Structure 1
Amino acid sequence: MRKFNGLRPQDVVLLLKLVAHPHQAWLGKDLAQSLHLSASEVSEALARCRFSRLLAADPQALRVQRHALLDFLCYGLPYAFAVQPGAPARGLATGASAPPLVQTFGPEPAYVWPGALGSQWGIAVEPLYPQAPAAAQQDAQLYGLLALTDALRLGRPREVQLARQLAEQQLTASALASAARG
């Protein structure tokens, strides 16, 4: 049987976690714990990200190719991992209803990841993978990046435009922080 090398949704979340914490020296088990994945899922995700050239080929370094990731987030993600708003539900705010976009667009109409983790009512949006809300609730930087990602996936023009600008700023700031460290 041929090995599947295509990206999976949790791969995007893993890359965003690495971008959110550029100074962290990650071990696979630490990434697995923080993302609520198994160690083997993290290992396979890293291999797929390297194959897709979103992560540097060096197995000793977890260096995200930020320009490639930004291009994928803006132009590939909405098609590869498309989402349609669902039924009203209670959950954790996402997209334009969560920081950093909520300051511009306000909380209504609210988009939420449905589940017991949140208390906001809104329109349900399926997260990139089932454990993403739990991982986001433990990490504010990751939560912000996932909210931007969902704004890009939902595809409302004004929200997409601002989400692209903010994603570019955050990826650039992360790159500058990594360069200053290295």
Structure 2
Amino acid sequence: MLQLRASDLGGLQEALDEIDLQPQSECTHRSIAAETRVSVSEVNAAIRRASRCGLVRKSGRTGRPEADNAGLLEFIVHGVKYVYPAERGEPARGIPTAFAAPLLAEELAMDDDLLPVWPYASGSVMGYSLSPLYKSAAYAAARDPILYELLALLDVFRIGRQREKAIAHRLLKERLP
């Protein structure tokens, strides 16, 4: 098992930078379900709930659902820790999250303590397990670098300190125009 240190992140970030981030097909409920290992009915119900609370709205151009990024950012910054409380678990192998993710680790000095990871059998980092938002979040994040960054930033608001949250807030604002 490996333990992640800040010096180990250079290669991981380079690999993430080389991945083609252009969507390969139209985003549908079925494609979202396949990419995230969430059932189609759960995807549909989640979009309906997000619409009712104002986090998703219909696009004026296409009539398809699209995120209300301002509302989403407000929810993440002020509400996510209450709706999705973080549960710290035993040491595990997994994917680094929150301030241990490559995106934030570059900006923060980390010590040699165990760092937060989503438990994932194919992960190569040893840390303390942190409950993900959904049981298949680590699988989906491993397949999609943009989703990985967004979920890791979201986790900062679940477990981070003020300085970490300020950095995550800035990075989220850059990613949610």
Distance in 2 separating the partners of 1:155 and 1:39:
32
1:141 counterpart = 2:117: no
Aligned to 1:130: 135
Query: SS at the partner of 1:87?
Result: strand
For residue 125 of structure 2, the aligned residue among 107, 120, 125 is 120
| Range moving further from structure 2, 147-156 or 80-89 | 80-89
Distance in 1 separating the partners of 2:98 and 2:26:
29
Deviations 1:32-88 (A, max 9, x none): 101111111111111111011100046931211000000000000011111142222
Distance in 1 separating the partners of 2:100 and 2:109:
7
Query: 1:90 touches 1:116 (CA, 8 Å); kept in 2?
Result: yes
Aligned to 1:6: none
Query: 1:86 touches 1:123 (CA, 8 Å); kept in 2?
Result: yes
Aligned to 1:43: 44
**More strand per residue: 1 or 2?**
2
Distance in 2 separating the partners of 1:83 and 1:98:
16
Task: Report the residue type matching 1:51 in the other structure.
Answer: R
Query: 1:95 touches 1:148 (CA, 8 Å); kept in 2?
Result: yes
Aligned to 2:101: 98
**More helix per residue: 1 or 2?**
1
- How many residue pairs get matched? 153
Query: 1:84 touches 1:154 (CA, 8 Å); kept in 2?
Result: no
Query: 1:36 touches 1:131 (CA, 8 Å); kept in 2?
Result: yes
Structure 1 residues without counterparts, runs of 5 or longer: 1-19, 173-182
Task: Report the residue type matching 2:26 in the other structure.
Answer: A
Extract structure 1 runs of 4+ deviating beyond 3 A: 20-25, 57-60, 106-109
Aligned to 2:3: none
For residue 61 of structure 1, the aligned residue among 60, 64, 68 is 64
Query: SS at the partner of 1:129?
Result: coil
Query: 1:98 touches 1:107 (CA, 8 Å); kept in 2?
Result: no
Residue 127 (structure 1) shift? 0.4
Distance in 2 separating the partners of 1:68 and 1:121:
35
Query: 2:118 touches 2:129 (CA, 8 Å); kept in 1?
Result: yes
Task: Report the residue type matching 2:32 in the other structure.
Answer: L
* RMSD between aligned residues: 2.1
Distance in 2 separating the partners of 1:77 and 1:107:
24
Aligned to 1:79: 82
Q: Structure 1 residues 107, 120: closer, same or farther in 2, change over 3 A?
A: farther
Output the TM-score relative to the length of structure 2.
0.79
Distance in 2 separating the partners of 1:89 and 1:32:
26
User: What percent identity do the matched residue pairs reach?
Assistant: 34
Aligned to 2:34: 33
Q: Structure 1 residues 123, 171: closer, same or farther in 2, change over 3 A?
A: same
Q: Structure 1 residues 112, 23: closer, same or farther in 2, change over 3 A?
A: same
